[in-house]
Structure 1
């Protein structure tokens, strides 16, 4: 039998645009946070590294965590600890392409990660070689496999016999970097330079500074020096002189804990108490990238920065002393969001946005559960009206006025300032229901009104009469052409000929009685070939042929984020946009792309809550505010996310059996072929595909060839479990 995996990346999207060199700013990133709620072992983070597979390893106060974009797995570090060893505990990580992953703690214990056993194993304990108090601040591993230890009492190394020997004594060592055969040592009193060929003669490069961290720019022959309380320094290694660094804010007087290379032009600076800064290596100029100040969406949960790491994709991983991990994803999506701000009348009145409209004056109207909010873009002021009414649907009228359909209070016509011009209700005899779900104006200027229980109503332009149609339980109304109006109901949709009064019914439950599909129609979008897209509640999206009455269905199995489809739009490129009960999707030539990998997209959208704005943007109303997206800025692209098996565990084994079988399975997985005994017929297979920018876009299907009849359902869970195969 063979296990066959599919990793689905149905259609990936990217922002169109040219690539230019520009200074890093926070609006180039989307931020994600990882803390206790996501499975992080502690909010106190000291070190972050990336391995060759793209997995991120995070050292916290409690232990080591592995994160692959979906799942955090926590590892403990073994050892006979005294209670005092755990006080002020600080862990570090080191990854070497040749020698693998290493962890260490401040007490001098060094651990190696065993891939075969999937655990950290103690490699050495410095307390067995060194007497007295030990504080291990830095572990460095050179290309020859030699360990260098930065301790509170000096610099040490292990020799060929695996003994630990003293190299530089009576120095409090905080950091170690190497360039070829030269070491640079950051100490509490300055910087030492040490040659491999002359270890007994360290050279003092800089004195009088408590140095916390170092970075060597080999191209420019410059050494960047982060201090405890005297800022960031940069030294020309050809002349051993300090170069001026411009625009250091007062935050630089706090400890500089991290200096990270971002690219050939840029360094990232992590400051304990100041956030993350960017330094231009050419101009020697610094500016703030992000901190806990939350005036934008890109902010940190803690300013006490200890770790700053750039991954292979250009994302920035930030570990702080109190705020866990923040990931700055290098992909600024062409979206913005609008939400209610508590206690601020100059914001959206309520986050449940039932509809959106742009009036003739270019003002944006939002129908909410607490009335109407009007955003005047020229004055940048909010106006709230019809307070207390549940506004459900909007329709643009003349001279900036707007029709408003409510839930329980009929229909209002408001002027451009939000003042009531007219009020229609069932009690007054003007409507058949007070629970209005849809209002549309056709090409003759006539108004169509539909709702929860009453019949469809058509009001002639200028109040010159009205017409009732025997259509109830209306969800939405769409103008098809000058003669026809379509009406979506809980049982199919109707096509009304306003000239003849004839009604044709389509896609009803009676028509579908032999098919597994939903006749509860919420949204409609008509095509030129006599077909129509139907968004249903519970049954996904149907492409319905009105002549043959045949349909093609798209559901979550094809990649939709939800089977509740609430609005449909076609962009200028002819692509279909779909809002659902769990995010947005894009369909291009029958390929479905789930857009929920984009930050703030995965919301529960409301029925028919959409507006195509004059500036080309799409606006979607949800239960949590409004999402604005620029459709033309989205185009297709490919990206790398290699699929790999990460493990196989056989169930119902004793501890000894599991221990002996683990390396055997590891070797079989490495060779790409696993063969198990007949009795080992209950097992769990784990796998992953890592791409942090597009992690929400990745899902899996699997089938055990010769055993399963069908592929599994799409899932983001990288696990397949079998029992008694």
Structure 2
């Protein structure tokens, strides 16, 4: 009982001495007992709004987050995460924003800032392919938790999660399969026909399709062996791939947009109105329209008849590198000169650049 009394008295004394901001490491309390005091690190609080007049400005890290990029503005990858946030991969690094407001949530510090692709695994971790390797980022802490450099090449161009949850990595010298939990290399296909894995997509049966410098290759996602090759592709090089709502595969080449039967590898059609256009990115929205990014602008296409139903103006650049539809009730567009968004409820033919990620600053408010 005496020990308990002395223990309580010690705690009361610490409080009276103003030690509430210190951590107390207490041993057995006795006549000669001592209290070891270890200061806790100060928590950095980032207020969501600007500070009132006369108050110290936001901490340096928050100011850095809100400042626009300086240098290369091309937006090479966009990813809508499970929680609705938009991840942005550029040639200046990786950032995460709230697509409803355009507010920058975080900028991720990486060893290499040139981003080729972004993906999210089944438990929510973010995988970032750079021109110097693959990294796994914990979105809760924004820290790198794994990295793998033992790939066919460290220049990563594409990423695709398969139906089992494994991650396929496309490089400029073949493809590899990664275990997301350990970040370990499981298998590689170095002698890929067409060499460079520019784009990856799954078909409706879960098999992997690879867009290469010389057409398309279908890969068995279980064994990692090449199953089928389509070499006679108009435009030769496949730059982007997407699975359509009817199960067909869509491919963008320097000569246009193709629809392919993924069951037999037969080219069903070349979209007439896009022949001769350099197609660099494609994405389907929830109503089934195809958003097609070319080196001459962004188009909305009816997949049933191939008609162009809309063309978007006021983009930071006419060269479209990435597209994320249905994200914050907007279509987000990555161009060579920055990021922009398009309202899906009004003025759908006009884009608005986002100042923090675009060379052309736009002070207009998000709607």
Q: Residue 621 in 1 paired to residue 320 in 2?
A: no
Q: Residue 493 in 1 paired to residue 238 in 2?
A: no
Q: Residue in 2 aligned with 1:439?
A: 159
Aligned positions of 1:683-722 closer than 5 A: none
Task: Describe the superposition over 1:434-481 as per-residue Cα deviations: whole angstroms up to 9, x where unpaired.
Answer: 10001111221101001112x211123433761222423010111224
Candidates 510, 518, 522, aligned match of 2:239: 522
Aligned positions of 1:200-215 closer than 5 A: none
CA distance in 1, matches of 2:333, 2:252: 15
Is the partner of 2:181 in helix, strand or coil?
Answer: helix
Q: CA deviation at 1:594?
A: 6.8
TM-score (norm 2): 0.65
Task: Describe the superposition over 1:576-634 as per-residue Cα deviations: whole angstroms up to 9, x where unpaired.
Answer: 2211111111222324327446333762112xx23345534322211111122244658
8 Å CA contact retained: 2:203, 2:249 = no
Q: Residue 473 in 1 paired to residue 196 in 2?
A: yes
5+ long unaligned stretches in structure 1: 1-342, 637-692, 694-725
Candidates 278, 290, 302, aligned match of 1:576: 290
Candidates 408, 412, 415, aligned match of 2:135: 412
8 Å CA contact retained: 2:157, 2:172 = yes
Task: Describe the superposition over 1:9-39 as per-residue Cα deviations: whole angstroms up to 9, x where unpaired.
Answer: xxxxxxxxxxxxxxxxxxxxxxxxxxxxxxx
8 Å CA contact retained: 1:603, 1:622 = yes
Is the partner of 2:277 in helix, strand or coil?
Answer: coil
Q: Residue 605 in 1 paired to residue 339 in 2?
A: no
Deviates more, 1:373-382 or 1:468-477: 373-382
Candidates 267, 279, 286, aligned match of 1:565: 279
CA distance in 2, matches of 1:387, 1:468: 24
Q: How many residues align?
A: 277
Is the partner of 1:432 in helix, strand or coil?
Answer: coil
CA distance change for structure 1 residues 359 and 542 in 2, over 3 Å: closer, same or farther?
closer
Aligned positions of 1:324-339 closer than 5 A: none
CA distance change for structure 1 residues 478 and 423 in 2, over 3 Å: closer, same or farther?
same
More strand by share: 1
TM-score (norm 1): 0.35
8 Å CA contact retained: 2:187, 2:224 = no
Q: Residue in 2 aligned with 1:505?
A: 228
Candidates 116, 126, 129, aligned match of 1:402: 126
Candidates 382, 386, 399, aligned match of 2:110: 386
State the structure with more CA Rg: 1
Candidates 167, 171, 175, aligned match of 1:456: 175
Q: CA deviation at 1:493?
A: 1.2
CA distance change for structure 1 residues 401 and 461 in 2, over 3 Å: closer, same or farther?
closer
Q: Residue in 2 aligned with 1:587?
A: 301
Task: Describe the superposition over 1:120-148 as per-residue Cα deviations: whole angstroms up to 9, x where unpaired.
Answer: xxxxxxxxxxxxxxxxxxxxxxxxxxxxx
CA distance in 2, matches of 1:485, 1:599: 36
CA distance change for structure 1 residues 505 and 633 in 2, over 3 Å: closer, same or farther?
farther
CA distance in 2, matches of 1:541, 1:404: 27
CA distance change for structure 1 residues 583 and 467 in 2, over 3 Å: closer, same or farther?
same
8 Å CA contact retained: 1:401, 1:413 = yes
Task: Describe the superposition over 1:142-180 as per-residue Cα deviations: whole angstroms up to 9, x where unpaired.
Answer: xxxxxxxxxxxxxxxxxxxxxxxxxxxxxxxxxxxxxxx
Q: Residue in 2 aligned with 1:268?
A: none
CA distance change for structure 1 residues 345 and 527 in 2, over 3 Å: closer, same or farther?
closer
Q: Residue in 2 aligned with 1:365?
A: 87
Q: Residue in 2 aligned with 1:354?
A: 76
Candidates 424, 429, 433, aligned match of 2:148: 424
5+ long unaligned stretches in structure 2: 1-62, 351-367
Is the partner of 1:474 in helix, strand or coil?
Answer: coil
CA distance in 2, matches of 1:399, 1:381: 23
CA distance in 2, matches of 1:601, 1:479: 31
